[in-house]
Every structure is written in C-alpha cells, then in structure tokens.
C-alpha cells in the first residue's frame, strides 16, 4: 500500500523486497484523503447514498439500455423511490437516450465521476468514457 509520499511510500523503513511504484509521491492514501474528488471520497459518497436509500439496496431492478454496446443503465425502484443508474463501460464517448416510457417530473443528479456541465437533461446526452451517473427520479 502506498501510504504517503515518504521513502518507500510510507510502507516500511526497511528496504522492501518488492519494488515501490515510482508514482508513490503522487498516488497514495494521504493524497487521496486530501483530495475531495478522489476515488476514496467517491466511494464514501456512494456507500452513504446506498445506506440512506432503501431502493438502492432492496429496490426492483429494471433494465433500461439492453442492447447498447457501451451503455449499461437501469432503474432501481422501491415504493415511491426511483433511481436511474447510467454507466458508460467503454473507452469512447457514447450517447444515451432515456426511453419514452420512463416518466418523471423531477430529476436530481446525486453522484457521478465527472462534473455534469451544460444542460442537465437526462432525456438524451453523451457520456464520457467510463462515466457513471446516479440520478433520483420523482
């Protein structure tokens, strides 16, 4: 584990028998904890959202994009809660179109691994490579 930017990535004062990756000064636990946009904080928010929303735990699974080469999307619903999960599993940008049968009055973008810029419509948009979005529908 690359704990920090110190010698041997903070793992040991002794000379390690496995070579430490050269990126340990930039990529380490200490840096991740200080960066509010790090993977650590992303997963922390994701776990918090899951714990606070029963639909994300026990909700029914409804596939949305079933024949798309890159986009994996689905709805999770429980009682009156509905969440739309949209993932681009490809290394290229890909378009997403919400099927007309999915109705909603309001949407709220809860979490994503990219900043959402421009119009915030979920009816039709492009996802960047490996982009993920979690959206609450009401």
Q: Global pTM?
A: 0.84
**pLDDT for the residue numbered 16:** 86
pLDDT at 86: 97
The Cα–Cα gap between 109 and 116 comes to: 9
pLDDT at 121: 78
SS3 state of residue 6: coil
Q: Which runs of E-coded beta strand occur in 8-131?
A: 60-65, 71-78, 81-88, 94-97, 107-112, 124-127
Considering all CA atoms of the chain, what is the largest pairwise distance in Å, rounded to the nearest integer? 62
Number of Cβ atoms within 10 Å of the Cβ of 41: 14
Q: Which residue has the tokens 């290394």?
A: 91
The C-alpha angle 94, 90, 60, rounded to 5 degrees, equals 85
Domain 59-137 classification at class level: mainly beta
Distance of CA 71 to the CA centre of its chain: 14
Q: Note whether 124 and 87 are within 8 A (CB).
A: no
What does the alpha-carbon distance between residue 48 and residue 60 come to, in Å, rounded to a whole number?
20
Q: What is the pLDDT of residue 25?
A: 95
Q: Which helix (H) or strand (E) holds 49?
A: helix 39-52
Mean pLDDT of successive 10-residue segments in the chain (138 residues)? 93 89 95 94 96 97 94 96 97 95 94 83 92 96
CATH 2.60.40.1180 domain residues, the chain: 59-137
Q: Tell me the two tokens of residue 75.
A: 């709805």
Q: What is the pLDDT of residue 117?
A: 76
């Amino acid at each position: 584990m690359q704990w920090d930017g110190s010698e041997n990535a903070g793992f040991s004062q002794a000379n390690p028998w496995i070579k430490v990756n050269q990126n340990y000064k930039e990529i380490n636990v200490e840096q991740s904890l200080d960066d509010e946009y790090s993977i650590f904080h992303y997963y922390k928010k994701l776990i918090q959202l899951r714990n606070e929303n029963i639909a994300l735990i026990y909700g029914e699974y409804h596939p949305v994009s079933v024949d798309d080469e890159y986009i994996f999307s689905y709805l999770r619903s429980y009682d009156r809660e509905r969440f739309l999960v949209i993932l681009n599993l490809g290394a290229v940008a890909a378009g997403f179109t919400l099927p007309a049968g999915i109705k909603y009055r309001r949407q709220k973008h809860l979490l994503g691994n990219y900043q959402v810029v421009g119009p915030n419509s979920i009816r039709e948009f492009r996802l960047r490579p490996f982009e993920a979005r979690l959206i609450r529908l009401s």
